Amino acid sequence: MPRAALAVAVLLLLAGCGEAVASGGDEKVPAAWLVIPHEAARETAYFAGGCFWGVEAVFEQVAGVAAAVSGYAGGRSDRVTYKEVTAGGTGHAETVRVVFDPAVVSYTDLLRVYFSVIADPTLRNRQGPDFGAHYRTALFPVDARQARQARAYLAQLERAGVYDRPIVTTLERARPFVVAEPYHQDFARRHPRHPYIVRHDAPKVAAFKRLFPELAR
């Protein structure tokens, strides 16, 4: 293998969010009772749910989503790197910024997808094979309207007993969002055969398409 190609291969293997494990048991959670219409042409929402590769990969499949960008949120600094975040201590979580058309897909639709196939909200500071506060499940409402809907939906899921354990997903104040390094963007689409994607994130995308055909592109 040429030296340049070997360097790229090593980088991709080391850049992963963790060792891959198979995922399963995805179920469609109930639709939200509280849906507050939004008349703007564009809306932005932030979701942290473990490795951002899989979060981004699922949301990119949702009709009405114009962009899904991997990055870091929840920390105080607006200048941070992947190495610093994964070392711990910055307060950031791997997060995806989702820009969408609320006339096509609602914020609560995205919440339903998130809790159905993207994240296990009962796991504290971990998702699948990935451990640490930077892999926590968190929502970052951008305004009072999103905060009200997110809070109501979390309470609805708890009351309905959807999960066997308490939900630990946090609602956090929106702080500066730091866009992740270029090699993280569209990672699943660009590297569909990467072991982590095949064994951990591709099943999430498949589960989304199976459970939400009405929301898929």
Handedness of CA 177, 186, 68, 57 (dihedral sign): negative
Q: Are 197 and 19 in contact (CB under 8 A)?
A: no
Catalytic residue among 20, 29, 32, 51: 51
Say which DSSP state 151 is in.
H
Q: Are 140 and 49 in contact (CB under 8 A)?
A: no
Q: How many CA atoms lie within 13 A of 88 on its CB side?
A: 6
Return the structure tokens found at 44. Answer: 């932005």
- Rounded Cα distance, 46 and 178, in Å: 12
The one-letter code for the residue type at 199 is R
Return the structure tokens found at 192. Answer: 């569909």
Is position 17 annotated as part of the catalytic site? no
Q: Are 109 and 216 in contact (CB under 8 A)?
A: no
Catalytic residue numbers read 51
